[in-house]
Copies of this chain bind each other. A is one copy, B any other.
């Protein structure tokens, strides 16, 4: 079992810099979370972007596409800011022969209480279990990009009706 994890930034990787009294995006936490999980397959974490997902544009999404294509790994997890995660998932749907699962976190992985480890566990499981395609794992549920929205007020991902 071989898994490739692409980190695009977002809340999951946020750190707190006292010098700025501000949050910023740090090294991908996927590395530490995979160690903690005792993952016994092979994996590689690649930091592609370090952006708040609201700041991502088309060229950023192209960079993610290129990173997926540059690797022949068939099991891909992408950690991503939640605000435009669905949009990026849509942009990757034309990629074939790969199971791609996007996830992120509502609370930084560096917090004591965070959904990051749970979400990454789900994404790692799904990229092994699902047929080729693009999926989202957030709030403990499996979503299909074209039928998903982030309800920003409630802070949850939902199926479109």
Contact = CB atoms under 8 A, between A and B. Distances in A.
Interface in A9-29: 11, 14, 16, 18-19, 21-23
Interface string A124-152: 11101110000001011110000000001
Contact of A38 (B14, B112, B140, B153): B140
A110 interface: yes
A156 to B, nearest CB: 5
Interface string A108-125: 101111110111111111
Interface residues of A, number: 56
A123 B22 CA distance: 25
Given A11-B21, A36-B118, A124 B140 contact: yes
Contact of A152 (B19, B34, B110, B114): B19
Top 7 A-B pairs, shortest CB-CB distance: A121-B121, A39-B140, A118-B121, A122-B125, A40-B139, A117-B117, A37-B118
